[in-house]
Amino acid sequence: MLVNSDKLINTPILSMQTTSSIGNVSSAIINPDNFKIVAFYLSGGIIDKSANILATSSIREYSHYGIVVDSIDEVVGKDDVVKISKIIDLHFGLTGLKVETKKGSKLGKVSGFTFTSDDFTIQQIIVKRPLIKSFTDSELVIHRNEIVEVDDYKIIVKDEEKTIKQKSMNEDFVPNFVNPFRKTEQDFVPTHTKTPADKDIE
């Protein structure tokens, strides 16, 4: 399922152990090398500021109800996971980055993104157009395959300005465990410069 980043903030974190919410998503930690969300910062609920990071590898399910984990023990501190700590130290932020073509044409700034809920790979960036160009296209939706370079300040895409329409993708979740947060079927209501490559963190 494709998830829009504007639906991400305040997504509840649901514990299988307590069958209740333990906190909410406050922001995503993104690896610029492969354009994947490796973890989330959490807040609220019973989340402690010294341990407020949830690795996406610890997530059992991302559903319309929220993010399901085994227990609060999955939430760790920055220094508890070396791989995530190194990415945090990069201070990479996707939203707000300038987007340009290889020829230097300015397309706008990143206002959001979409990602797949199964592996947390960012699939598209949503680009807000400059005022002078917004009369024809208020935003562009650019697929990851169009991206050729990323650094701390901008994203460079192929020369062709391609507008990719967003598609609403729904998916029936089929977890391999019993999810106490699920309703019955009739009650279900959907609620620094590197090229991104499809590789996991070594």
pLDDT in tens, the chain (202 residues): 889 999 899 999 999 999 999 999 999 999 999 999 999 999 999 999 899 999 999 999 998 889 999 999 999 999 999 999 999 999 999 999 999 998 888 999 999 999 999 999 999 999 998 765 554 567 889 999 999 999 989 999 987 554 434 333 334 444 545 566 665 444 433 345 554 544 444 4
- The partner residues of 113 in beta bridges, in order of sequence, read 125
Q: Helix (H, G, I), strand (E, B), or coil: what is residue 100?
A: strand
CATH architecture entry for 98-157: Roll (2.30)
Q: What is the pTM of this model?
A: 0.77
Parse the chain into domains and list their residue ranges: 2-92, 98-157
- Report the 3 state secondary structure along 166-185: CCCCCCCCCCCCCCCCCCCH
What's phi and psi for 178, nearest 5 deg? -85, 120
Q: Helix (H, G, I), strand (E, B), or coil: what is residue 101?
A: strand
What is the separation, in whole angstroms, between the first and last Cα of the chain?
25
Q: Which fold has domain 2-92?
A: SH3 type barrels. (2.30.30)
Q: Do 2-92 and 98-157 show the same overall fold?
A: yes
